[in-house]
């Protein structure tokens, strides 16, 4: 059975998945950009042919993925109705997905095909419907669920997430959006399969019992 | 200058320092006992002459400590007025402190001397006064601050804590007392100096900037 998987979701040591006051200039909230430095470093390492725990986890997140789902805030900083269709994501003309990407938003717009096989689909359908569409688009492969925290929480609450790979960054944020919040009893359905530190961060893998 | 140091405070991966429904039979709250298994394992390892990251961190917490402060819940499960003075802590007749231990409680009782040099003092004085007494008792050594979470939060909010060693256990609790809560902006005054995993847990050391 194909799975719904979360990968590389970075939280601060004090548990936040984004900082306070998210806005165009600080899309992850104040002070949170640094939380993702480990990933940029891992991508540089890989480009140089080096290996390591962080590179390994980045690659696990790319393995056997046929479609992606994300919240609108992960797609871009625009809030409210789209002023036009010029914003096509953070990733340039050839995004690294190379498959169908489903973006949850109340503000619909036509599908946006990009170079390299990525197409962004904008949807306000229920989670289950979006996930079904993603599984169909993935043609037997798994579906990856991106952030932000609220999107992940919704899918966990709905009992739809099979695996979560989280990354604890050695920073303190103090306020913002907690990842482990609004989950009710659903978190009881998971166990921590693995927890391991690289020199930069700690990786934790949660799987459904 | 002597320091106020926190050591071995264990939190779940989802950020809780105790589980829900603390009571006599479950002094750490439901499901939380397992969070401290790493420490019992480390103490066994040390007794067998083995070393490792966990043993090293346990020993750091014993180094150069001349007095201890703790909240009442760390001293025992009794709530409200003491029915008598028969409860003398979780640690038997010869507790492992071997120095003065200050227990915050609204219910005073006479100092309780124990074998091996430990004396429990019960106090409802302000934090600053208790800390001053502890520094005097420590005679130039550092003071160690025990839990629970509420006690640590109070000392952090008052700007009195110099170092914190936290331990992230690979468990999910779902509810209870969060360690990183009720801290306001005070957490901005700390940085993560170190984060490293043993096979059992992840250790993080926070120091005041």
Contacts of residue A197 in chain B, CB cutoff 8 Å?
195-197, 202
Determine whether the interchain pair B13/A171 forms a contact, defined as Cβ–Cβ distance below 8 Å: no
The rounded percent of chain B whose pLDDT value lies above 70 is 100
Q: What is the pLDDT of residues A74-118, one digit of tens each?
A: 998 888 899 999 999 999 999 999 999 999 999 999 999 999 999
Minimal CA separation from A182 to chain B, in Å: 10
Listed in sequence order, the DSSP H helices in chain B are 37-47, 53-60, 72-75, 127-138, 149-157
Contacts of B73 (CB under 8 A, 6+ apart): B22, B27, B147, B148
**What residues of B are in contact with residue A188 (Cβ under 8 Å)?**
172, 174
Q: Give chain B's count of helices (H) and strands (E).
A: 5, 11
Do A177 and A148 form a contact (C-beta atoms < 8 A)? yes
For residue B71, give the nearest of B177, B187, B167 by alpha carbon. B177
H/E segment holding residue B203: strand B202-208
| CATH code matching the domain that covers A4-76+93-208, chosen among 1.20.20.10, 2.40.30.10, 3.40.430.10, 1.20.1510.10 | 3.40.430.10
Q: For chains A and B, what is the number of CB pairs under 8 angstroms?
A: 71
Which of B174, B179, B188, B208 would you mutate first to test chain A, the one with the most A CBs within 10 A?
B174
> What is the predicted pLDDT for the residue at B140?
98
- CATH top-level class of B14-76+94-180: alpha beta
3-state secondary structure string across A84-121: CCCCCCCCCCCCCCCCEEEEECCCCCCCEECHHHCEEE
Give the end-to-end CA distance of chain A in Å, rounded to a whole number: 15
8 Å CB contact between B151 and B74: yes
Residue B10 has pLDDT above 90, yes or no: yes
> pLDDT (tens digit, 0 to 9) for every residue of chain A, 209 residues total?
999 999 999 999 999 998 888 777 787 888 888 888 999 999 999 999 999 999 999 999 999 999 999 999 899 888 889 999 999 999 999 999 999 999 999 999 999 999 999 999 999 999 999 999 999 999 999 999 998 899 999 999 999 999 999 999 999 999 999 999 999 889 999 999 999 999 999 999 999 99
The model's pLDDT over B110-168, given as tens digits with 9 standing for 90+, comes to: 999 999 999 999 999 999 999 999 999 999 999 999 988 999 999 999 999 999 999 99
Unique residue bearing structure tokens 């009782």: B109
| Complex-level ipTM beyond the 0.85 threshold | yes
DSSP letters along B78-103, please?
--SS-SSS----TT-SS-S--SEEEE
Of the candidates A161, A133, A138, A134, the residue with the CA atom closest to the CA atom of residue A149: A161
Torsions phi, psi of B99, nearest 5? -160, -175
Q: How far is CA A5 from CA A162, A166, B62, B194, in A?
A: 6, 11, 42, 29
Q: Are the Cβ atoms of B191 and A168 closer than 8 angstroms? A: no
Question: What mean pLDDT value characterizes chain B?
Answer: 94
Helix B37-47 with B53-60: angle, nearest 10 deg: 90
**Which of the four pLDDT bands, split at 50, 70 and 90, describes residue B75?**
very high
Q: List the single residue in B with minimal CA-CA distance to A205.
A: B170
Q: Which residues of A touch B196 (CB under 8 A)?
A: 197
Report which of B171, B169, B164 is spatially closest to residue B200, judged by C-alpha positions: B169
Q: Read off φ and ψ for residue B75, nearest 5 degrees.
A: -75, -35
C-alpha torsion sign, points B23, B59, B34, B186 = positive
Looking at residue A51, its pLDDT comes to 93
pTM for this model (two decimals): 0.93
Three-state DSSP class for residue B193 = strand
Phi and psi angles of residue B145, each rounded to the nearest 5 degrees, phi first? -105, 120
The SS3 assignment for A58 reads helix
Chain B residues with CB within 8 Å of chain A CB: 13-15, 166, 168, 170-172, 174, 178, 180, 183, 185, 187-188, 190-192, 194-197, 201-202, 204, 206
| Yes or no, beta carbons of B190 and A183 under 8 Å apart | no
- List the single best residue of A180, A181, A188, A207 to mutate versus B (max B Cβ within 10 A): A180
Tokens (6 digits) for B143: 């003071």
Contact B177, B149 (CB under 8 A): yes
Q: Phi and psi of B83, rounded to 5°?
A: -65, -35
Q: What's the CA gap between A161 and A154, in Å, rounded?
A: 10
Q: What is the CA radius of gyration of chain B?
A: 16
Residue pair B153/B181 in contact by the 8 Å Cβ criterion: yes
Interchain CB distance below 8 Å, B13 and A196: no
Asked whether residue B23 carries a pLDDT value surpassing 80, the answer given is no
CA R_g for chain A? 16
Distance in angstroms (rounded) separating the CA atoms of residues B36 and A110: 53
CA distance A6 to A2: 13
Domain ranges of chain A: 4-76+93-208
Contact assignment for B172 to A195 by CB distance below 8 Å: no
CB-based burial label for B95 (10 Å; 0-12, 13-18, 19+) = buried
């Amino acid at each position: 059975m194909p799975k719904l998987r979360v990968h590389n979701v970075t939280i601060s040591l004090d548990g936040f998945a984004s900082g306070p006051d998210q806005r165009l200039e600080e899309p992850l909230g104040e002070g949170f950009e640094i939380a993702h430095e480990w990933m940029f470093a891992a991508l540089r390492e890989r480009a140089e042919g080096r290996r390591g725990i962080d590179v390994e986890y980045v690659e696990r997140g790319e393995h056997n993925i046929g479609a992606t789902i994300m919240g609108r805030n992960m797609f871009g900083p625009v809030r409210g109705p789209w002023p036009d269709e010029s914003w096509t994501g953070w990733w340039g003309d050839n995004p690294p997905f190379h498959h169908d990407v489903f973006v949850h938003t109340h503000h619909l717009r036509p599908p946006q095909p990009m170079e390299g096989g990525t197409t962004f689909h904008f949807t306000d359908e229920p989670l289950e419907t979006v996930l079904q569409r993603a599984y169909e688009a993935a043609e037997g492969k798994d579906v990856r669920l991106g952030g932000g925290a609220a999107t992940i929480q919704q899918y966990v609450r709905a009992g739809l997430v099979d695996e979560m790979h989280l990354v604890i960054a050695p920073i303190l944020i103090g306020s913002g959006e907690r990842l482990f919040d609004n989950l009710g009893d659903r978190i009881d359905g998971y166990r921590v399969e693995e927890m391991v530190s690289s020199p930069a961060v700690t990786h934790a893998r949660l799987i459904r019992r």
